Structure 1
Amino acid sequence: MSAPLPERLARVKPLAAFVAALVLVLAGLFLPGIVGAAVLLLLVGGLAYVSSLTWRVQPARTRVLRVAILALLAAVAVAKIVG
């Protein structure tokens, strides 16, 4: 049986997670219209889920930064859909 998600995520190297997120953000920004917006919205959903797993143990400043980044990514995705 596989380990729970938080345990699997704890084994991921931080650099690998950063590079993967960066690649997804850049893909979402450079892909046209709805495709790019879909990539960004999937990323927002995944990051929101991972943030919810660690929400209770994060300092308030980190929580604010995470919410701001997620809101910015979601706003960019909506702008890509509308425009």
Structure 2
Amino acid sequence: MQRTQSPLLVRLARVNPTSAFLAALVLVLVAFFAPAPVGGVLLLALAAALVWLLATTWPVQAPAGRVIRLLMLTVLIAVALAKLL
């Protein structure tokens, strides 16, 4: 590990993609079925984590991947705000 690398990013790189997907899916499903304020907060917490990850990996993403990720993040935030209101 280089001195400029974050230990958190190194650990995230070793996570099984299927496990990460299933964990995110469970979190989204719990948020959808939770009462309004709790579900919205869970979705906003997920969105905040994804914003951090997107900002961290932005330089190494292809332009098409950036657009898709921004669209999906926008939809997630819109659903979270709708759940809160």
TM-score by length of 2: 0.89
- Residue segments in structure 2 that go unaligned for 5+ positions in a row: 1-5
Deviation for aligned residue 1:27: 1.1
> Which whole-Å CA distance do the structure 2 matches of 1:25 and 1:32 have between them?
13
TM-score by length of 1: 0.91
| Offset from partner CA, 1:10-66 (integer Å, 9 cap, x none) | 010000100011111111111110000000000000111111111100001111111
Query: Match of 2:71, SS?
Result: helix
Partner in structure 2 of residue 31 of structure 1? 34
- Residue segments in structure 1 that go unaligned for 5+ positions in a row: none
> Which whole-Å CA distance do the structure 2 matches of 1:51 and 1:60 have between them?
12
The RMSD of aligned alpha carbons is 1.0
> Which whole-Å CA distance do the structure 1 matches of 2:76 and 2:30 have between them?
12
Q: Indicate whether 1:21 and 2:31 are aligned.
A: no
Partner in structure 1 of residue 63 of structure 2? 60
Counterpart contact for 1:6–1:53, Cα < 8 Å: no
* Counterpart residue type for residue 75 of structure 1: A
Size of the aligned set, in residue pairs, is 80
